[in-house]
């Protein structure tokens, strides 16, 4: 449609102080799906899983044409200076982001040629022993030529808070083989505005930042947010190093070494697209620009997204269709594998912030490494706790003094002295040479107090060590060990804390006013530097978001299982930025951080996907996702079914048997994923078919966001060819089909078996099939309601091959009467 012929030019508008950011999508296809016919411009569309040739004259001329149409619409509707266009989107969606008033947004909504107008919403971060835990050095890296070739020429793009380029995890010289020019990547490298040095070095191959929406919203502060790819937060450096950091980097803090860090694909290249910032997170308009304008344009192979919405975007009726997910659908169509963090809203159901079938949604696991410590009291009682610290001197006990008992006059009244955040309010003479007892208040949960600051206070006062006591705990409170330069321990069990407090009160003599006459409580702190390896690993972390997946914002269940897969995400050592502020315990100056979140799980999958892509460069994103899912495990190291952290009735953390709503298909198994035997492949038309057959999604809305007419070939969304089966509303009997392709080098015969919890009967057909190399076969699964329980039933379908391959699909279904 030619906008210039349709717009009435008598609209006028005045700039409003209530201006906000809006994402506008337009009629007319973006580059990825344009088939020709607009003013003589030739087609630029790509086939499913094919990269866009952004250097061709066809693409660049059509891109200029789309941008002119965006500018023409705004120029004809509004007076100059009354609005600001922030970005033009041309590659994956056709539209733009603009800073306009609500009245102007309404005028845009009514203007011919405009398909949708969505108010921007915020996103947030979903915040190295793992290579060994996952078997990479012994079972995976050798197949690709060793760690110094693992991920060769694969480009992983990170939409995050930037990167600290001077960290050894990203050094180009830390390799036996120098990095040469990349054969196809076309990204740019910004310069540091102060040093004028490039952010790129061969290992880091692209570095750009996106902040136009943040600036327009008044949220951007160049003094702390850095108008460059520099990581002012720490989060971006941490995630990049997990996926693609150099191998064998010593993790040193406070004079101790905690092992050596490595990325999953240490030879992969890193492309940085900074769109997240330390105080406010980010804006979808900036994130979409990072993906549409640059990452896919530049030619990344993998996208790692440790980012999700603050709240579900309410501008679309379905979770699957909004500018963010529509952009990612375009990225997948262009052959880019997308890994996204599931979210940190667990352990409660329906807390996922990653919904769509074209995205690989990653849940977080606890691996086998735990950091434990103990405090031994003078009465012989030993109290368990956590603390990454050295011990007090062996065979010696120290007096213990409470912060509340060593105040300097009334100086502590302005603060909470038991937090031990300010050494100047405590009496050094009474603390020196003793163990300082501090209270773990809500300030630690809120981030205004930190264990790092407690350690600094204790050291400044000459204490022999410190103990942090948790007297009450709120559901959701997460306790992680923090490296300390002096002996220290956090007592997290409230009952153990009470034992310590009782012992201290009984042994400490006071005068009639309550002042201490003599400190007689004694204790010693154990060595917490060495990890303890647990056979119960992996376990689903308490914070990891849970299913069921939802298809709309009234939280109706979707016929699509999420999360997709489980990966390490708890207590992950990785690189940190010297400007880092994302975690109070790792503020500026630290080189590494030990932190938890599904933010840490997603880059594990991004890096492992890079290894699969390296071995199978022609595989589609869906094929890579399938290989990861069907070869994952639901058994822990002790041979038992996976367990998940959950709250008991008394709100203490306990372990329960995990379900696919906790872990998806299971915990990732990288070596098996390189040779899955069978894959469940899917392309762009399959994703459109899933959307079109999902009840409640308007076909017009689908066309608006995808520029593609509906197809109904799969009839029901449960028939979408993904390596899982989910039916949220099973009435009587339903049969679903799946298509598998043999990606092994030889023909193989598979026997197909199934099992299901008693409320649902399950049958598979055929019971066995032979699949030639490169060929595809279809099988069906029939589910029948035996009893209506009001809860989901869980099961699996297993295809066991005659040459040793094993492929497993999780099955979830809820029986309904009608």
Q: What is the 3-state secondary structure (H, E, C) of 261-292?
A: ECCCCCCCEEEEEECCECCCEEEHHHHHHHHH
Residues 106-142 as b or e (16 or more Cβ within 10 Å = b): ebbeebebbbbbbebbbbbbbbbbbbbbbebbeebbe
Residue 139 has pLDDT above 80, yes or no: no
pLDDT tens-digit readout, 180-221:
889 899 999 998 888 888 899 999 999 999 999 999 999 998
User: Would you state the pLDDT for residue 530?
Assistant: 76
Question: What whole-number distance in Å separates Cα of residue 304 and Cα of residue 244?
Answer: 11
Residues 6+ apart with CB under 8 A from 670: 134, 135, 136, 139, 140, 264, 608, 611
Q: How confident is the model at residue 534 (pLDDT cuts 50, 70, 90)?
A: low
Condensed to tens digits (0 to 9), the pLDDT of residues 648-704 reads: 776 678 889 999 999 999 999 999 999 999 999 999 999 999 999 999 888 888 888
Give me the catalytic one of 33, 169, 306, 599: 599
Flag whether pLDDT at 48 surpasses 80.
no
Segment (H or E) for 526: none
Q: What pLDDT, on the 0 to 100 scale, is given for residue 410?
A: 62
Three-state DSSP state, 483: strand
Count Cβ atoms below 10 Å from residue 689 Cβ, excluding itself: 23
Percent of the chain topping pLDDT 90: 61
- Looking from the CA of 472 toward its CB, the CA atoms found within 13 Å total 4
- 127 pLDDT tier (thresholds 50, 70, 90): low
C-alpha span between 467 and 458 (Å, rounded): 10
State yes or no: is 599 an active-site residue. Answer: yes
Q: What is the mean pLDDT of the chain?
A: 88
Greater model confidence, 142 or 541: 541
* Active-site residue identified among 49, 120, 153, 160: 160
Instruction: Determine contact, residues 356/329, Cβ cutoff 8 Å.
Output: yes
**Which pair of tokens denotes residue 673?**
């994923």
- The single residue listed with the structure tokens 């262009």 is 334
Confidence bin at 708 (pLDDT 50/70/90): confident
Query: In this model, does residue 448 exceed pLDDT 50?
Result: yes
Does 160 qualify as catalytic in the annotation? yes
Predicted local distance difference test score (pLDDT) of residue 145 = 65
pLDDT of residue 223: 83
Q: Residue 389: what pLDDT?
A: 84
403-438 in b/e burial notation, b at 16+ Cβ within 10 A? bebbbeeeebeeebbbbbbbbebbbeebbeebbbbb
CA distance 729 to 346: 24
Q: Are strands 725-731 and 653-657 parallel, antiparallel or unpaired?
A: unpaired
Does residue 332 contact residue 50 with C-beta atoms inside 8 Å?
Answer: no
Q: Is the pLDDT of residue 769 over 50?
A: yes
Instruction: Report the pLDDT value the prediction gives residue 97, as an integer from 0 to 100.
Output: 95
**Mean pLDDT across the stretch 342-360?**
93
Could you say which of 99, 235, 374, 667 is catalytic? 235
């Amino acid at each position: 449609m030619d906008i210039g012929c349709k717009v009435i030019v008598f609209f006028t508008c005045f700039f409003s102080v209530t201006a906000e950011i809006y994402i506008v999508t337009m009629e007319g296809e973006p580059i990825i799906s344009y088939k020709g016919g607009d003013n003589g411009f030739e087609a630029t569309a790509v086939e499913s899983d094919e990269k866009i040739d952004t250097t061709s004259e066809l693409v660049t001329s059509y891109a200029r044409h789309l941008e002119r149409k965006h500018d023409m619409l705004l120029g004809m509707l509004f007076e100059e200076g009354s609005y600001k266009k922030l970005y033009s989107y041309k590659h994956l969606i056709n539209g733009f982001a603009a800073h306009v008033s609500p009245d102007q947004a309404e005028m845009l909504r009514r203007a011919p040629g405009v398909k949708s107008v969505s108010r921007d919403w915020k996103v947030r971060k979903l915040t190295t022993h793992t290579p060994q835990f996952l078997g990479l050095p012994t079972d995976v890296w050798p197949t690709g030529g060793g760690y110094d070739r693992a991920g060769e020429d694969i480009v992983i793009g990170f939409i995050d808070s930037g990167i600290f380029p001077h960290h050894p995890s990203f050094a180009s010289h830390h390799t036996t083989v120098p990095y040469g020019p990349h054969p196809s990547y076309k990204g740019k490298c910004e310069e540091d505005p102060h040093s004028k040095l490039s952010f790129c070095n061969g290992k880091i191959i692209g570095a750009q930042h996106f902040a136009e929406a943040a600036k327009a919203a008044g949220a951007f502060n160049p003094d702390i947010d850095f108008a460059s790819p520099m990581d002012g937060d720490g989060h971006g450096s941490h995630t990049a190093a997990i996926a693609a950091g150099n191998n064998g980097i010593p993790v040193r803090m406070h004079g101790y070494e905690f092992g050596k860090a490595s990325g999953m694909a240490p030879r992969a290249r890193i492309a940085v697209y900074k769109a997240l910032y330390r105080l406010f997170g980010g804006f979808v308009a900036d994130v979409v620009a990072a993906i549409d304008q640059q990452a896919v344009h530049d030619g990344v192979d993998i996208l790692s997204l440790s980012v999700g919405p603050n709240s579900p975007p309410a501008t679309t009726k379905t979770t699957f269709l909004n500018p963010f997910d529509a952009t990612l659908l375009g990225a997948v169509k262009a052959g880019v594998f997308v890994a996204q963090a599931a979210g940190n809203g667990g352990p409660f159901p329906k807390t996922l912030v990653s919904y769509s079938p074209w995205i690989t949604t990653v849940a977080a696991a606890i691996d086998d490494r735990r950091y434990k410590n103990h405090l031994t009291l003078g009465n012989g009682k030993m109290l368990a706790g956590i603390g990454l610290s050295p011990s007090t001197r062996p065979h010696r006990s120290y007096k213990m003094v409470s912060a509340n008992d060593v105040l300097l006059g009334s100086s502590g009244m302005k603060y909470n002295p038991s937090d031990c955040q300010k050494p100047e309010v405590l009496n050094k003479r009474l603390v020196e040479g003793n163990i300082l007892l501090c209270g773990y208040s809500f300030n630690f949960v809120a981030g205004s107090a930190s264990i790092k600051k407690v350690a600094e206070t204790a050291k400044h006062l000459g204490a022999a060590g410190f103990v942090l006591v948790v007297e009450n705990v709120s559901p959701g409170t997460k306790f992680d060990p923090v490296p300390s330069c002096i002996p220290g321990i956090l007592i997290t069990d409230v009952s153990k804390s009470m034992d310590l407090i009782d012992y201290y009160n009984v042994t400490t003599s006071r005068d009639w006013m309550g002042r201490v006459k003599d400190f007689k409580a004694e204790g010693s702190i154990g060595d917490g530097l060495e990890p303890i390896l647990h056979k119960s690993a992996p376990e689903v972390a308490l914070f990891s978001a849970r299913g069921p997946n939802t298809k709309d914002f009234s939280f109706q269940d979707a016929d699509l299982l999420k999360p997709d897969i489980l990966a390490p995400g708890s207590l992950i050592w990785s690189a940190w930025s010297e400007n880092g502020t994302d975690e109070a315990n790792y503020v500026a100056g630290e080189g590494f951080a030990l932190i938890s979140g599904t933010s840490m799980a997603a880059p594990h999958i991004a890096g492992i996907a890079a290894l699969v892509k390296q071995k199978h460069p022609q595989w589609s994103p869906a094929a890579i996702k399938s290989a990861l899912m069907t070869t994952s495990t639901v058994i822990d190291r002790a041979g038992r079914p996976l367990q998940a952290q959950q709250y008991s009735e008394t709100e203490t953390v306990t372990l329960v048997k995990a379900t696919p709503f906790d872990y998806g298909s299971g915990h990732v198994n990288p070596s098996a994923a390189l040779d899955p035997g069978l894959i469940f492949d899917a392309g762009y038309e399959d994703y459109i078919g899933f959307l079109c057959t999902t009840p409640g999604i308007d076909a017009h809305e689908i066309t608006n966001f995808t520029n593609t007419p509906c197809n109904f070939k799969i009839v029901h969304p449960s028939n979408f060819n993904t390596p899982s089966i989910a039916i949220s509303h099973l009435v009587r009997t339903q049969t679903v089909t799946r298509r598998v392709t043999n990606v092994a080098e030889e023909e193989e015969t598979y026997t197909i078996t199934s099992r299901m919890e008693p409320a649902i009967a399950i049958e598979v057909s055929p019971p066995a099939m032979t699949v030639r190399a490169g060929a595809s076969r279809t099988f069906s699964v029939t589910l029948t309601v035996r009893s209506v329980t009001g809860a989901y039933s869980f099961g699996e379908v297993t295809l066991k091959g005659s040459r040793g391959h094993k492929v497993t699909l999780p099955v979830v279904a809820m029986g309904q009467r009608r």
